[in-house]
Structure 1
Amino acid sequence: MRIAIIGIGNVGSALARGFVRAGHQVVLGVRNAGDAKVSSLAQNTNAEVNSPSGAAASADVIVLALPWTAAEEAVRSLGNLKGKIVIDCMNPLAMRNGVLGLDRGFDTSGAEALANWIPDARIVKTLNQVGAELMADNSDLPHRPVMFMASNDAEAKAAVSALLTGLGFEALDAGDLTKARLLEPYGMVWINQALFRGQGRDWAFAAVKRT
């Protein structure tokens, strides 16, 4: 599958490596193709480099790994995304009174805002619940890490489930896109434990069943 990654910070770069390892073709959607970081990532992953809109237009799946504060402008500049599967792995982070949190509560979500910006796209909320390191490679964990996903589109969810499995995750269906109101705070649980409670970044949630 051809996957466009828009935003090549820690998450986007990790997903580029993970998807290439899983056998997919990756195209990096960037504004500055000559940047040293872009060149290094492209070389290490054998990824193509294109403009954000060009990458999005050429791909089967688009991954949005943008800082939330820059997301709306960047997403609206991607052009016509009608019928495109869009993976939203962004958490709507904001500082409030000096404390890192979400900029919205349980009556809406970043994913639903995204759906208003690109109403014709097939949005799947996922890959927001663990750190970048384990998106790139989680093969050494003792249990398969769980990754929830939410979407209104069953076919898009099935396609993304296969991608998540290829990245080493156990994909679990959380329901329609409104369930992103649960998944974004759930992502904050990982952030809280990783950054503020001493767990570090090399861990993930797992769904362990009684045998």
Structure 2
Amino acid sequence: MKIAIIGTGNVGSALARGLKKSSHTVVLGARDITNKATQDLAADVGAELASPAEAAKSAELVVLAVPWNVAEAAIKALGDLSGKIVIDCMNPLGMIGGVLELTLGHTTSGGEIVANWLPGARVVKTLNQVGAEIMANNVSMPHRPVMFMASDDTQAKAIVATMLTDLGFEPLDAGDIRKSRLLEPFGMVWINQALLRGRGRTWAFAAVDRK
């Protein structure tokens, strides 16, 4: 499968590295394809490099890995994504009263807003529940880390589940896109523990069954 990763920051770079050994073809969508760090990343992971719109147009699956405050403009600049599977791995974060918080919740979510921006696309909310380090490499963990998905499209979730497995996660279906209202606060739990409670960035949630 050809996967376009839109954004080459911490998350986009980590996902590219996590998919390096998979059978997928990766194309990085970057605003400045002449940037040396971006070119080095593409060379390191064996990815193609293109503008965001060109990358999205060429791919079967598009991963949105840009900051929330530029998400709307960045998404609308991609053009028509009708029929494509689109992963929203963004959390709608912002500074509220000097503290990093979710800017949405209860009555809507970032996932639902992205789906409204892309009415013809098959939007799946996932990959928002851990930090970039776990996306890049989680092979040494004693339990496979869990990754929840939310979407109205069952088939799209099944396809995304294969990619999540390739990244080392155990994919779990959380339900329709409205369940993004659960997954985004769940992502904040990881952020709280990792950044504010001193646990660090090299851990993840796991679903462990009793034997």
Does the alignment reach a TM-score above 0.5?
yes
Structure 1 letter corresponding to 2:170: E
What's the secondary structure of 2:20's corresponding residue? helix
Q: Which runs of 5+ in 2 are unaligned?
A: none
Structure 2 letter corresponding to 1:112: E
Pairwise CA distance, 1:20 = 2.1
Percent of residue pairs bearing the same amino acid type: 64
What's the secondary structure of 1:165's corresponding residue? helix
Partner of 2:179: 179
Pairwise CA distance, 1:107 = 1.0
Cα separation, 2, equivalents of 1:194 and 1:84: 33
What's the secondary structure of 1:188's corresponding residue? helix
Q: Deviations over 1:155-198 (max 9, x none)?
A: 10000001101111000000000000000000000000000001
Partner of 2:146: 146
Cα separation, 1, equivalents of 2:159 and 2:20: 17
Structure 2 letter corresponding to 1:137: N
Aligned residue pairs total 211
Alignment TM-score, normalising by the size of structure 2: 0.99
Q: How does 1:27-176 map to 2 (within 5 A)?
A: 27-176=27-176
Pairwise CA distance, 1:23 = 2.2
Provide the alpha-carbon RMSD of the alignment. 0.6
What's the secondary structure of 2:19's corresponding residue? helix
Pairwise CA distance, 1:127 = 0.2
Q: Deviations over 1:138-168 (max 9, x none)?
A: 0000000000000000110000001101111
Q: Which runs of 5+ in 1 are unaligned?
A: none
Cα separation, 2, equivalents of 1:31 and 1:129: 26
Partner of 2:7: 7
Partner of 2:192: 192
Cα separation, 1, equivalents of 2:21 and 2:13: 12
Alignment TM-score, normalising by the size of structure 1: 0.99
Q: Deviations over 1:87-131 (max 9, x none)?
A: 000000010000100001211000111111111000000000001
